[in-house]
Structure 1
Amino acid sequence: MRAWLAVIIGLALGGGLAWWLAQEHEHPAGQRRPDSPRPGAQVDASPALYRWRDDAGVLQITERPPKDRRYERIDRDTPAGIRVSGDGVDTQE
């Protein structure tokens, strides 16, 4: 009987701890949560990569767009499934 009581108390304490940790707690004035952005910092809702070609014609993929070239913006959050895209070169004969 005591083992069941210990199990029930353990489950109640574990559930209470999980509930407590899931709550949003107020922070003292002037402090912010470590995972929150700095005030005034702009957060990109959808981070992207940029695809472009350099002077030698080599394909480059960077996190920042080039200043003096054409580029294509690529979303990092791709939809589920397979998506194939290429340079537009037809390899079929």
Structure 2
Amino acid sequence: MKQWFWMVLLAVAAAAAARWWYTVEMPRRAHEREAAAEAAAIQAERADALYRWRDDDGTLHVSDEPPKNHRYERIRKTPKDGIEVDGTR
């Protein structure tokens, strides 16, 4: 009888641990993976970007970091496939 009680208690504890894992821990880890993937995508986009902007005197600048108090345009370092024609630049 005692052995049966301990086996049932162990099965209940294992079921509770499995339920906790599937309802709490797995969604938390999935959220962490999604956040890390989003941060990596943002970092990769920034690594492939240059920033074109003009200062108060109208001088054109291109830099690796965006300016703090000026409007800027993000430019890709690697070109897109094909030919792009844009007469507004």
Tell me which interval the TM-score lies in, with the shorter structure as reference length.
0.3 to 0.5
Higher helix share: 2
- Greater Rg over alpha carbons, structure: 2
TM-score (norm 2): 0.42
TM-score (norm 1): 0.41
